[in-house]
Chain A
Amino acid sequence: MSDGSMTIGAAVAPTGTMRRTLPAHGSRRTHAAYALVTPAAALMLVMLLGPLAGVIALSFTDYQLGAPHISWIGLANYQDLFADKVFWTALRNTLTYVVIVVPGAVIAGLAIALLIQSGTSLRSLYRTIYFLPVMATLIAMAVVWEFMLHPQFGLVNGLLRSAGLPAFAWLQDRSTALYALCAIGIWQAVGFNMVLFLAGLVSIPKQLYEAAEIDGASSGWARFRLVTWPMLGPVTTFVVVISGIRSFQVFDTVHVLTKGGPSKSTEVLIHTMYTEGFEFFRSGYAAAITVVFLVFVLALTLIKSRLADRGVHYT
């Protein structure tokens, strides 16, 4: 409502200005500018910054979902958090997941994009096939993966056995569960990265490759180093950051397939947060985990904007 009245005030303003002296004109314009900015700023405050501030504030309280009392407990949540072994396990698992999934999904995405780009036929077919995992619901796909990785009648173990190799209880074994989830994570992210890389590849001028060839870059690797890789720089930065943020957010496969087990070997940050917040209703504590999570994501975003500012001159 206040937005509406401000806008009307701004619209009426011109008649008022007539009687005023000239210097006042500047401040009038400023009022109008503020009036125009207000709706967007208010929306941003309510929808984006408000919840963030709320979460940060909540992390300093002992609030429990549905509890009648709330009191300020300062950094106690964080002290508990940093003293909690589960948190450190979750953090370590999340970082391991990111460190495996990001390079895997980026390199595989780039490789597939290069293969599709250099192919002559069936390009759109391959593109669609590799993009399928992105379009599919991950929860549903996770169920399919559960069958594939099943110790007795799963496809993966079936293949291993037919090749004479030992089978694993992939998701039930502490030593393999996290890596199985990493594989699913890569499988899911590759298609998205591929599409971004394909868009980047298409925009590289063909003449650069011809110039490289004339200049003596006869091998495919030399042309990749000289033209493709540097020209894909901005796309690669974007893909790495997006993959990084999405890997930090890993939750659905964990929740459906392992619930963080066996014995916390696949416990990840968001899953810990979910358990604490929605199973144990410790909202304040969950908020503290969220803040830690946000710090990592923010760091990634800052790295990206640093790299983007480094000034790569593309004409």
Chain B
Amino acid sequence: MAQIELSAISKSFDGADVLKGIDFRIGDGEFISLVGPSGCGKSTLLRIIAGLEPQDSGEVHIDGRPVDGIRPSARNLAMVFQSYALYPHLSTFDNIAVPLRMRRLSAIERLPLLGALLPSRRAKERHIRADIEGIAEQLDITPLLRRKPGQLSGGQRQRVAVGRAMVREPRAFLFDEPLSNLDAKLRVHMRAELAELHRRLKATFVYVTHDQAEAMTMSSRIAVMMGGELIQAGTPAEIYNEPGDIRVAEFIGSPKINILPGRIRKDGGVDVLGTTLKLTCNAAAGDCRIGIRPERIELGTGPFSGTVVHLENLGAEAFVHLAVEGTGSRLIARLADVRHLPAMASLVAFGFAPDAVRLFDPAGKRIELRAEQAERIREPAHV
């Protein structure tokens, strides 16, 4: 179990900056998701932690000790790859045995024919067999031990890859988009399994994904990366409810957060679509953007109105797409009660509580509401 500390990690490929000075601290036993759109540098950061890629500058500490210049094999980290990277010529058993044989057997004991004759090897192999059988039991892959990777399904290969990572009890587990090759149903299932595995092992997990749903459902903390920078780190609830940057707000949450153009007046009041919101902020007067999550939009009452242009009924919930005059894009509202859907093309009034509002400046940084406002807007009142 390990703490991982990254300080000022930078990396560029052919002059393009992929990582621009990442500082981050991963606590012992945390499940950290590095999430962001493709090309944001999250996989590169993971590979730097693993040691598969050297950083241009900055330091990686594991358990307080610098590991820069230490080979990946000596860092005692386990990694699960997107393609699983199982050795196709080895059976499931031998695949899981590789990390153990590499560590426990000497070079002579590993020799193909001669090594097998050594009595010391036989004793070690017995231990290895016992360890692997234990892991196989835990992951429910005992019947697969004799099969080769080519004979396994995607989900089974995934489990074997996890088994290979688990078997030597590494200091931390690194996952590089391990679920993206699975179909949607299996992905949801494996999500639960991985989260459960983390609870059981209590080990440090660093999990790279571009799927915000995976990050939200499994992690104890999420680190959102964009354009080579770590923009915000926090618990899933923090990231979802209190995004510090409009890019974070837009990336996390499905469907996407609604963004409306607004204006901050000199007295700190906020106008949006010709209506003044019941809240004030300390920012200088000027343009701003207002973010409201789809589930916080209340249909039926309120000062705004829009035309229903599209309905998505998912059974348990429904999404209503509204075209609002004065905004370029459409607004999406989530309805929990699918029995009372508005008619297509009808004009619907809508509003939102002041505490649903997240204000962002034109550069995308979050604008805090005034402190006294925070108290007042706890009670749900329509603007």
Instruction: Determine the distance from Cα of A144 to Cα of B175 in the docked complex, in whole angstroms.
Output: 58
Q: Is the CB of B89 within 8 A of A214?
A: no
A230 at interface, CB cutoff 8 A: yes
Residue of B nearest to A223 (CB): B73
The smallest C-beta distance from A311 to any residue of chain B, in angstroms, reads 9
Instruction: Determine the distance from Cα of A233 to Cα of B88 in the docked complex, in whole angstroms.
Output: 12
Stretch of B146-154, B272-280, B350-358 lying at the A interface:
B146-154
| Chain A residues numbered 163-193 whose CB sits less than 8 Å from any CB in chain B | none
The smallest C-beta distance from B73 to any residue of chain A, in angstroms, reads 4
Interface band, chain B: 20 to 34
Contact residues in A for B77 (Cβ distance below 8 Å): 214
Q: Is the CB of A217 within 8 A of B73?
A: yes
Stretch of A63-71, A203-211, A266-274 lying at the B interface:
A203-211
- Known A-B contacts A210-B52, A215-B99, A313-B149; the reply to A226 vs B87 at CB < 8 A is yes
B12 at interface, CB cutoff 8 A: no
Q: Is the CB of B88 within 8 A of A211?
A: no
B283 at interface, CB cutoff 8 A: no
Q: Is the CB of A211 within 8 A of B73?
A: no
User: A233 contacts which of B89, B110, B149 (Cβ < 8 Å)?
Assistant: B89
Q: Is the CB of A215 within 8 A of B102?
A: yes
Q: Is the CB of A213 within 8 A of B72?
A: yes
| Interface size, chain A (Cβ < 8 Å) | 23
Encode contact with A along B143-183: 1 for CB under 8 Å, 0 otherwise. Answer: 00000111100000000000010000000000000000000
B79 at interface, CB cutoff 8 A: yes
User: B88 contacts which of A213, A215, A222, A314 (Cβ < 8 Å)?
Assistant: A314
| Chain A residues numbered 24-72 whose CB sits less than 8 Å from any CB in chain B | none
Residue of A nearest to B91 (CB): A313
| Chain A residues numbered 226-259 whose CB sits less than 8 Å from any CB in chain B | 226-227, 230-231, 233
Contact residues in B for A227 (Cβ distance below 8 Å): 87
Contact residues in B for A214 (Cβ distance below 8 Å): 50, 52, 72-73, 77-79, 99
Interface of A is mostly: helix
Contact residues in B for A315 (Cβ distance below 8 Å): 88, 149-150
Instruction: Determine the distance from Cα of A315 to Cα of B87 in the docked complex, in whole angstroms.
Output: 9
Q: Is the CB of B99 within 8 A of A216?
A: yes
B74 at interface, CB cutoff 8 A: yes
Q: Is the CB of A231 within 8 A of B89?
A: yes
Encode contact with A along B2-26: 1 for CB under 8 Å, 0 otherwise. Answer: 0000000000000000000000000
- Known A-B contacts A213-B71, A214-B72, A215-B99; the reply to A207 vs B151 at CB < 8 A is no
A312 at interface, CB cutoff 8 A: yes
A218 at interface, CB cutoff 8 A: yes
Q: Which of A207, A227, A233 has the most CB of B within 10 A?
A: A207
Instruction: Determine the distance from Cα of A227 to Cα of B102 in the docked complex, in whole angstroms.
Output: 13
Instruction: Determine the distance from Cα of A45 to Cα of B370 in the docked complex, in whole angstroms.
Output: 93
Contact residues in B for A216 (Cβ distance below 8 Å): 73, 98-99, 102-103
Contact residues in A for B150 (Cβ distance below 8 Å): 313-315
Q: Which of B73, B103, B149 has the most CB of A within 10 A?
A: B73
The smallest C-beta distance from A108 to any residue of chain B, in angstroms, reads 22
Instruction: Determine the distance from Cα of A215 to Cα of B89 in the docked complex, in whole angstroms.
Output: 16
23 sampled A-B residue pairs with Cβ under 8 A: A205-B83, A207-B83, A207-B85, A210-B50, A211-B81, A212-B87, A212-B98, A213-B52, A214-B50, A214-B52, A214-B77, A215-B73, A215-B98, A216-B98, A217-B98, A225-B110, A226-B98, A230-B87, A230-B89, A312-B88, A312-B89, A313-B89, A313-B148
Binding site for B on A (CB under 8 A): 205, 207-208, 210-218, 222, 225-227, 230-231, 233, 312-315
Task: Identify the 7 closest CB pairs spanning chains A and B, nearest first.
Answer: A216-B102, A313-B150, A211-B85, A218-B73, A207-B85, A230-B89, A313-B148
